[in-house]
Structure 1
Amino acid sequence: MKKVLTAGVVAATAVLLAACSSGQVGGGSGGGVQNNKQLALIPGVQAEPFYISMQCGAEAEAKKLGYTLTTQAPQQFDAALQTEKVNALGSNPPAALLIAPTDDTAMLAPIQQVANRGTKIVQVDTSLKDSSIAVSSISSNNVEGGQLAAKTLAELVGNRQGSVLVLDTKAGTSTTAARVQGFTDELKNHPNLKSIGVQFTNNEPEQAASKVTAALASTPDLIGIFATNLNTGEGAATGLRNAGKTGQVNLVGFDASPSEVDGLRSGEYQALIAQDPAMIGQQGVDQAVAALEGKPVTKSLTASLHSLTKANMDANSQYFYKQSC
């Protein structure tokens, strides 16, 4: 009986070791999860062209490198909903997780739990305040994006004087906060333009439209609006349209979704600051795979930004965002 039990222990140990070497057993920073070919992407919200374009770039690069990438996105840009997606990775974590944290503080704990199982973390687009958990972070330089928006607005306005409204999404969103910072700092270099402050919209177009309606009523000299993302831009365009102010108040949006591009062409927007989300997704996969394969990893990468106007938009159509891959 003793010999039989000993043989059983040896056999079980051999099976366990084989599973570990194949990357099928996770758990803890010493697990074998890094050796599998599964990558996961959890963007900020589903069905948004920016994140769809990112997904397309990530999927293409993963396939090229021999990895499989799955995407799970929350229905709203919300930390609680995104936490559910992170927690759903459960006992079968991917080798690497590409994630756009929806809150720079609240998402730390759930992401840390995944990292503790051995998963490599790559931040795409947004980031945590404590970025030490991530092997790499890829984003646009959002401060420069805000500066570019202010410069573009100043060029559109010329020497005319007036007030400017800034529409942000939610407090705690790292990307839009940086855009606001860059825009506000650059606006100081244009004394003919005066900021009337920042309004938060909870990332809801209806709230953005309402904020624009209120600003038009209280600020007769409103000459420009900077909308920091897709939803605030769409809401601002609606507010201006409802008030009959389309084209009279210069609207500078961030991103280049199909609806924003159509709005730029029709005159609802006067400019868009386009990112390159497909490149962010591609670079995210590249850095994740490098970390998994023991190759050099770049801690921080920035993607390019482009100012689009009606005059130059067709020449820069490669930066228009996608609705599907």
Structure 2
Amino acid sequence: MASRRLRPSVTIIMALGALTLGYVSACGSNAEGSSAGSAEHKIALITAARNNPFFSPMECGAKKALGELGGGKLEVSAPSTPGDVPGMVQIINAAMAKKPDAIVIDPIDTAAFSPALRAAKDKGIKVVLVDNTLTDAKSYDTAIGANNEVGGEQAGQEMVKALGGQGKVLTLNGFPGQETLTAREEGFKKAVSGSPGIDYLGVQYSKQDATTAASVTAAALAKTPDLKGIWATSYNDMIGAVNALKRANKLSQVTVIAWDTTEDQVKMVRDGEIHALVGQSPELMGYNGVQSAYKLFDGTTVPQSQPLDTLLITKSNVDDPKTAQYFYTTKCDS
């Protein structure tokens, strides 16, 4: 699950103001500050950005869980600059000083947060990771996030189906060696390699930069004019691929499947510009994060790894109400 880079949905949203709330009671309200409820436990939710289409649903899920559990106090914090790892470490240290019962955090770097979170555990604070994980298993109690390899397999299986089992395909990825992205790449490779008619051309790297992804795609089209499919492991890879395909007048000839479910990506599926998306549920991550913290409070055994299902989203299910929980948004359900 872990990745050293902030997901693209974070980088496309500007940070807004001072982004640390004091502890507030939560009873399922989706408004900032929530309303009164039991304050038995205090939970610090630390994300990489606020007012963001990935992390806002995570916050809503956490509040929803608190409401169902009878209420509690939640402090939501994020760095003023999205994805600021040192800033997030400072937030962890500040949170510890307030003596929360649990820290629920998306550790966007695989190693940088471990010392601070180990210190939190030493103080008796429960540590729940959401979305990403850490290489140091002793620095947290449980980690909840999408099964990235399975999501990649879903994308590969759909690619084979969409192409009728024939054609040349490649992966656009951000960086080599990153656990999250590599798992998505490997899952896809596993699925397409099982089809003898699919010629898998391997992976090209973009540094998760849309302009670079467009250049890489253009070069791939020049080298392989009969390219039939692209698996984009993140938002910026997809944007770059789509832009390059449009410029080459080949968008209708190349099947694009991508990870992430931003509003514009979902619209592209509805409009038929891209074939499919692999969705994960940040709302469920926040919800299960708080639920797991309460189980830990009660002494219940919680698995250290809690993989969540991903959903393949196509035109056939994009408007299904059950699919909406996988969309990134800045608003919670009322």
TM-score by length of 2: 0.78
| Structure 1 partner of 2:3 | none
CA shift for structure 1 position 39: 1.2
Q: Does 1:122 align with 2:128?
A: yes
CA shift for structure 1 position 128: 1.0
Instruction: Answer 1 or 2: which has greater helix percent.
Output: 1
Instruction: Find the aligned partners of 1:80 and 1:304 in 2 and give their Cα distance.
Output: 31
- Cα offsets for 1:208-266 (capped at 9, x unmatched): 23322232223222211111123332333233233322222111011222111011111
Mapped contact 1:223–1:250 kept (Cα < 8 A): yes
Matches within 5 A, 1:138-177: 138-162=144-168, 164-171=169-176, 173-177=178-182
Instruction: Find the aligned partners of 1:51 and 1:178 in 2 and give their Cα distance.
Output: 22
Instruction: Find the aligned partners of 1:251 and 1:286 in 2 and give their Cα distance.
Output: 36
| Structure 2 partner of 1:4 | none
CA shift for structure 1 position 186: 1.8
Q: Secondary structure at the match of 1:223?
A: strand
| Structure 1 partner of 2:328 | 321
- Cα offsets for 1:163-201 (capped at 9, x unmatched): x22122345543222111211222210232233332333
| Structure 1 partner of 2:219 | 214
Matches within 5 A, 1:161-310: 161-162=167-168, 164-171=169-176, 173-310=178-315
Q: Does 1:58 align with 2:62?
A: yes
In structure 2, relative to structure 1, the CA distance for the partners of 1:114 and 1:320 (3 Å cut) is same
Q: Which runs of 5+ in 1 are unaligned?
A: 1-34
Q: Letter of the aligned partner of 2:129 in structure 1?
A: Q
In structure 2, relative to structure 1, the CA distance for the partners of 1:105 and 1:270 (3 Å cut) is same
| Structure 1 partner of 2:32 | none
Instruction: Find the aligned partners of 2:176 and 2:99 in 1 and give their Cα distance.
Output: 30
Q: Does 1:91 align with 2:61?
A: no
| Structure 2 partner of 1:25 | none
Mapped contact 1:52–1:322 kept (Cα < 8 A): yes
In structure 2, relative to structure 1, the CA distance for the partners of 1:67 and 1:205 (3 Å cut) is farther
Instruction: Find the aligned partners of 1:188 and 1:36 in 2 and give their Cα distance.
Output: 52
Q: Which runs of 5+ in 2 are unaligned?
A: 1-38
Q: Secondary structure at the match of 2:56?
A: helix
Mapped contact 1:103–1:173 kept (Cα < 8 A): no
In structure 2, relative to structure 1, the CA distance for the partners of 1:46 and 1:185 (3 Å cut) is farther
| Structure 1 partner of 2:110 | 104
Q: Secondary structure at the match of 2:252?
A: coil
In structure 2, relative to structure 1, the CA distance for the partners of 1:76 and 1:176 (3 Å cut) is farther
Mapped contact 2:127–2:141 kept (Cα < 8 A): yes
Instruction: Find the aligned partners of 1:171 and 1:113 in 2 and give their Cα distance.
Output: 31
Report the identity percentage.
33
- Cα offsets for 1:79-110 (capped at 9, x unmatched): 44543443443522432111222122333233
CA RMSD of aligned residues (A): 2.4
Q: Which moved more, 1:298-307 or 1:171-180?
A: 171-180
In structure 2, relative to structure 1, the CA distance for the partners of 1:230 and 1:52 (3 Å cut) is farther
- Whose radius of gyration is greater, 1 or 2? 1
Instruction: Find the aligned partners of 2:91 and 2:175 in 1 and give their Cα distance.
Output: 20
Instruction: Find the aligned partners of 2:160 and 2:43 in 1 and give their Cα distance.
Output: 43
Q: Does 1:38 align with 2:42?
A: yes
- Cα offsets for 1:132-166 (capped at 9, x unmatched): 3221111122111111110011111114321x221
Aligned length: 290
Q: Secondary structure at the match of 1:283?
A: helix
Instruction: Find the aligned partners of 1:300 and 1:217 in 2 and give their Cα distance.
Output: 43
